[in-house]
Amino acid sequence: MSSSLGESSPQQKPKKMRQSKRRASPDSRSSNDLERTIYSSDMENPFIADTYLSIEKEMMEVSKRTFHEPLPPQHELVNVMERGNTERRHQIGPEGFVKLMQTDIANGLSEAEVARRFAMYGSNYVPRREPDTFWEVMWNNTNDLVVWLIFAAGLLAMGVNAADREEFWYVEGSSTILTICLVIMMSSCFEYFRERQFARLLQKTDDFKVVAVRSGELTTITAQSVVVGDIIYLETGDVPPGDGILVSGGALDLDESSLSGESDNVEKRTDEDNGIYGGTNVAAGSGRMVVLCTGEFSIVGQISKSLTDDEAEKSGLEARLEEMAELIGYTSLTCAAVFFVFVVIEFLILATTGLMDVQVKDYLDHIFELFVCALLLLILGIPEGLPVAISLTLVLGAKKMEAENVLVKKPKKGEVMGTVTTICTDKTGTLTTGIMTVKSLVFADMEYTDLRSLERKLPPSVYEHAGLGLALNSTSRVSTLKYHLNRNEESGNTTERALLRILEEYFGLDFNTVRSQYPAVWRAQFSSSRKCSSIGIKMGDKRYLYTKGAPEVVLGLCERYVERDGKVVDLTKAKKKQFISMASEKAMRGIAIAFREIPPSLNLEQCPRASGLKAGKPEGSPEEDLTLLGFAFIQDPVRADVPKALRDCKRAGVNVIMVTGDSKSTAVAVAKECGLLPLNPPTDAILEGPRFRKMVSKTVDSDKPEDADGAFDQMAFDQIWPTLRVLARSSPIDKYLLVKGLMGSQLYESGLLDIHNDRQVVAVTGDGVNDIAAMNKANVGVAMGGGQQAAIEVAEVVLTDDNFSSCVTGIKWGRNIRDAACKFIQFQICITAVFVMFLIVQVVLFMNTLPLTLLQSLWLNLVQDTLGALALASDSASETLLKRRPINEDAPLVGEIMKKNIVTQSLFQTTSLIVVTAMSTTIFQDLYADEEAFNRTISFSMMVLQTLANQFCMRKIEGEYNFFSGILKNPWFVFVSAFELCLQVVIVNTGGSVFGVEELSWYSWGKLITISFAGVWAWYLVCNAGYWYYKTGSFRVPDIKDASAHSKAAAGGDASLQPMSAGATYGSTAHEIYV
């Protein structure tokens, strides 16, 4: 069979992945070796392992009773699908490939054959970079300078104690080594958990739904279930699940920019360039492909293998915190070295001059203790917990966002969501429910609100052609999938699905039967630029064309219409105007329906199809001289929670612009209902796409982003956008221009508008291929979970419930990620500052050479980094996050309020720690055997308790005076805090010689807890006293009329307008922009 494909050219061996078990080059083995290797490799994936177990028995039965012709080996299929092998694919042809793969275009593969292909070629699983194993994570954490210094200090401690002939010489050193191993173990657990969570989230985005032909039925399956030889049905917005050949259907327009970098779509035809590749998306058209390459043998899999060793993308906060940690680490190392040299010199001076009573034989012990002090400064000074804290926050945040219907595909974008200043949102399915309902029909110049009377009142010819037009001119599917899956699952365009529902109920037609009875002889798919779709069919000796689309577009193609008595009369300009006015006044989505009989002289094979049609009357198209049948008016109710979500956006300082292809009247009606516009909106708050495009771009007719970029007028755009709330009748290029203008606006620099004090950060919601250009241009692309797979592929965030409220949830959690980082920063800086100041006072001023033992400092470091990170990173996102304006991604991480927090707490805790340590024997009346150990116990316990108190204080970073607010909503925080307190008591009261501590009475514990937590109450008084002087920074939306005037002034208009003051009043109607 291999001869039918020709000899394969030598294949370059793929780059080895990080894992040791990987497949070799496919052309270096026999087919049996290939099958065994695929099987063993695929069994590592849980999804694939379960699938193998489910088909194992069936495969055994199939092999007993069926003899199969050999299938071509995988490496030959890979060779045929090489991008430069177009001529070879053309020679074999669609029929040849179908025969070669032993499949059938109409019936596809049987379940038994699917099992055979699965075992031979493997699954459609595309491997990603595998997360590090637990032991690899541990080694990465162990391979650190500070860790090796601690190990060395532990061994040195054992050596010094052994030289002094101490009875338990091994206790201190071994305890130090065991403790650092415990710290490494806990830190590794958190990192391992983070990596696995991210891998799980990425796996969810990899496996999407496709429609395959199995056993003669169109069946919805997952992309990973696709096998070589499957027949896949593709239509606009789909993403091919692998590489293959187009074997039926009209021309397909494929967006291959992800592979080639070219922005122009590529036309695919069965008789010309018929190669289809995974990772691309169908921009227009429909057809069927046979799959030849899946998984790591597809072009996407080969690219993925070359990227598996790359580092995972880090978020902006992660990168900034790692830089901060690295800078502080080098600073700490330098300070520790300088500190060690200074205190050693001081010690030698005091000892040699007799100012300090030390025997010469004890010099080494004192110098070792000073080395331990420098090491303590290094341990607690290096904030290695900063990157861990933000990584943990990203993982927990992504997991909680997923639970609230927000799937973050890229961790960085979850953080960017918190900085968004403007959302450009769709209407249908996002602000509205997406459940389309036909409210009325206008046929033969008569309106029908009671659809049950259609058959009785409509002229028979109109009734027949209207039903056929609705059934045939559609690519949506309802009954076939519904019957096969035995559940109410519909697929396709929501508008078409609404029309199909009334077709079955009121026209008495089954559209599957009609489509099979009248197959298409010519088709032009719907696109956002054309705003209409058409299909040509043959009925007996005649051919008919059915067209549907936007009323103004279809009316422009019509020359006649049907009157009430069924007569066909000329469509005058006055009547066209009347129809357009009627459609606009409905404030619903209007769909015009028209038809014509195609004359025998028109050769449809020479007519342009999907890629050749543009808006208007294209030359050579049969879409002309049409007869208007009527209109369908469809209503889509506003989601119940959208008005509240828009009010939340207003409070959060986030501007919302609705971008829709619907008519101006429909868009305004929806905007008013959801609160985006007031009842009497000003004219400059609403624009239509064509007018908007003329105002901001010199290239009006181009639908390519690269053409629009060079002709864009930013100054003109800046006069429009501050007051714009609705962009109706818009095209994809309009949406792209809107996003481009927002991101490029420098209007904030003028100080004339109090919209946002920094550049615009734009999020764009989309659900189809028409939104991809704008989504790629925006800071964050947000796809609807029920949208086309092409849009989901390019998006960074997916709203699984298609709800605008979930977008607001994403903003809230994005802000929470930054807040969590800021909480931990001020928490750790405060602890570090307290320890450094305390150490300097004790060692430099009082020559107390060891205020804490190495083991005690390691426990404090564990509380400070790992447990503190877990406690603060697990805080849930509260509604208060939506009460302040956005903070730019590049804004300083340590703000003015945080500085106040750090300074006041550090000074208070350091002072109280020094005083209590100096007066420990007076304050605490416990019996002790060693006064130095007792003082060290008090210092150690108080520092841990103050750290615990800091966890409460540092939960708030915006000047909130009630830092206990919402604490019970975070059980992890309560548990970790209780665990730290209990473990500290156990360490002190039972640690004894291991930790170098003295046991404390419960009375002394009460005193320590009271003194340590007194900082919390002091903090409460400080914040409460200054609370009314703190500016909350609540967002103020300018009055749209005032904003328009100021934007014009900023763009070079009225220079007499003065910048607004911080406390400017924007008028009584300012709130009406949203409510």
CB–CB of 815/807 below 8 Å? Answer: no
Chain center to CA of 237: 19
- 954 pLDDT above the threshold of 50: yes
Distance in angstroms (rounded) separating the CA atoms of residues 634 and 435: 10
Residue 421 Cα distances to 615, 748, 1013, angstroms? 34, 12, 39
Half-sphere exposure of 319 (CA within 13 A, CB side): 11
- 659 pLDDT above the threshold of 90: yes
- 33 pLDDT above the threshold of 70: no
> What backbone phi and psi angles, to 5 degrees, belong to 619?
-65, 135
Tokens of 759: 């550049």
- Summarised one tens digit per residue, pLDDT across range 158-167 is 776 666 555 5
Domain boundary among 1006, 1029, 1052: 1029
Tokens of 343: 């205190």
> Which DSSP category does 328 fall into?
H
Q: What is the pLDDT of residue 644?
A: 92
Average pLDDT rounded to a whole number, residues 539-551:
92
How many Cβ atoms from other residues are within 10 Å of residue 394's Cβ?
Answer: 26
How many Cβ atoms from other residues are within 10 Å of residue 567's Cβ?
Answer: 11
Let me know if residue 151 belongs to a domain: no
> Which residues share a beta bridge with 245?
275, 290
Let me know if residue 259 belongs to a domain: yes
Report the candidate in 488, 470, 468 with the shortest Cα–Cα distance to residue 479: 488
Q: What is the 3-state secondary structure (H, E, C) of 219-244?
A: EEEEHHHCCCCCEEEECCCCCCCCEE
State the CATH number of the domain containing residue 662: 3.40.50.1000
- Summarised one tens digit per residue, pLDDT across range 614-653 is 444 556 678 889 999 999 999 888 888 899 999 999 989 8
Classified as helix, coil or strand, 68 is coil
Distance in angstroms (rounded) separating the CA atoms of residues 370 and 312: 41
Residues 426 and 478 in one domain: no
Q: What is the pLDDT of residue 546?
A: 96
With tokens 């294949």, the residue in question is 11
- 79 pLDDT above the threshold of 80: yes
Tokens of 801: 């419930």
- Summarised one tens digit per residue, pLDDT across range 708-763 is 666 788 889 988 898 899 999 888 889 999 999 999 888 765 544 555 567 889 99
Mean per-residue pLDDT of the chain: 76
Average pLDDT rounded to a whole number, residues 976-996:
85
Helix axes 854-862, 363-381, angle to 10 degrees: 10
Distance in angstroms (rounded) separating the CA atoms of residues 924 and 938: 9
Confidence class for position 497, pLDDT limits 50, 70, 90 = confident
Report the candidate in 909, 912, 911, 892 with the shortest Cα–Cα distance to residue 901: 909
Q: Residue 527's domain spans which residues?
A: 437-608+619-635
Let me know if residue 1064 belongs to a domain: no
Let me know if residue 1061 belongs to a domain: no
Domain boundary among 253, 282, 307: 307
Most confident of 50-54, 130-134, 531-535: 531-535
Distance in angstroms (rounded) separating the CA atoms of residues 852 and 344: 18
How many Cβ atoms from other residues are within 10 Å of residue 1010's Cβ?
Answer: 11
Start-to-end C-alpha separation, the chain: 70
Classified as helix, coil or strand, 309 is coil
Q: What's the maximum distance between 2 C-alpha atoms anywhere in the chain?
A: 123
Residues 798 and 674 in one domain: yes
CB–CB of 675/643 below 8 Å? Answer: yes
Residues 579 and 509 in one domain: yes
With tokens 């227009």, the residue in question is 284
Report the candidate in 365, 253, 239 with the shortest Cα–Cα distance to residue 300: 239
Distance in angstroms (rounded) separating the CA atoms of residues 151 and 181: 9
- Summarised one tens digit per residue, pLDDT across range 39-65 is 444 444 544 455 444 444 444 444 443
CB–CB of 802/786 below 8 Å? Answer: yes
CB–CB of 319/387 below 8 Å? Answer: no
Percent of the chain beyond pLDDT 90? 15
State the CATH number of the domain containing residue 345: 1.20.1110.10
Task: Report the b/e string of 53-72 with b at 16+ CB within 10 A.
Answer: eebeeeeeebeeeeeeeebb
Distance in angstroms (rounded) separating the CA atoms of residues 683 and 663: 15
Determine whether 32 is exposed, middle or buried from the number of CB atoms within 10 Å of its CB (0-12, 13-18, 19+): exposed
> Which residues share a beta bridge with 307?
none
State the CATH number of the domain containing residue 214: 2.70.150.10
Q: Which helix (H) or strand (E) holds 442?
A: strand 437-443
Residues 852 and 719 in one domain: no
Residues 475 and 530 in one domain: yes
Average pLDDT rounded to a whole number, residues 176-200:
70
Domain boundary among 248, 278, 307: 307
State the CATH number of the domain containing residue 597: 3.40.1110.10
Let me know if residue 942 belongs to a domain: yes
Confidence class for position 795, pLDDT limits 50, 70, 90 = confident
With tokens 């061996």, the residue in question is 13
Residue 119 Cα distances to 26, 79, 123, 557, angstroms? 16, 21, 8, 54
CB–CB of 288/322 below 8 Å? Answer: no
Residue 31 Cα distances to 2, 3, 63, 72, 75, angstroms? 11, 15, 17, 9, 9
CB–CB of 648/804 below 8 Å? Answer: no
Distance in angstroms (rounded) separating the CA atoms of residues 296 and 125: 7
Tokens of 770: 């028409």
Residues 981 and 992 in one domain: yes
Residue type, 158: M
How many Cβ atoms from other residues are within 10 Å of residue 585's Cβ?
Answer: 10
Confidence class for position 481, pLDDT limits 50, 70, 90 = very low
Let me know if residue 10 belongs to a domain: yes
Q: What is the pLDDT of residue 198?
A: 59
- 484 pLDDT above the threshold of 50: no
Residues 330 and 285 in one domain: no
With tokens 């009785």, the residue in question is 456
Residues 664 and 796 in one domain: yes
Residues 586 and 727 in one domain: no
Residues 560 and 472 in one domain: yes
Confidence class for position 513, pLDDT limits 50, 70, 90 = confident
Q: Which of 225-239, 790-804, 1053-1067 has the lowest mean pLDDT?
A: 1053-1067
Residue type, 184: I
Residue 587 backbone class (left: φ over 0; alpha: ψ -120 to 50; beta: rest): left
Number of domains in the chain: 4
Determine whether 216 is exposed, middle or buried from the number of CB atoms within 10 Å of its CB (0-12, 13-18, 19+): exposed
Let me know if residue 190 belongs to a domain: no
CB–CB of 722/746 below 8 Å? Answer: no
Q: What's this model's pTM, rounded to 2 decimal places?
A: 0.71
CB–CB of 646/676 below 8 Å? Answer: yes
Residues 267 and 230 in one domain: yes
CB–CB of 720/695 below 8 Å? Answer: yes
Q: What is the pLDDT of residue 315?
A: 59
Confidence class for position 596, pLDDT limits 50, 70, 90 = very high
- Summarised one tens digit per residue, pLDDT across range 288-327 is 999 999 988 888 787 666 554 444 455 566 677 777 777 7
Q: What is the 3-state secondary structure (H, E, C) of 468-500?
A: HHHHHCCCCECHHHHHHHCCCCCECCHHHHHHH
Let me know if residue 597 belongs to a domain: yes
Confidence class for position 819, pLDDT limits 50, 70, 90 = confident
Residues 288 and 322 in one domain: no
- Summarised one tens digit per residue, pLDDT across range 453-477 is 888 888 888 999 999 999 999 877 6
Confidence class for position 543, pLDDT limits 50, 70, 90 = very high
Report the candidate in 1070, 824, 798 with the shortest Cα–Cα distance to residue 950: 824
Q: What is the pLDDT of residue 584?
A: 79
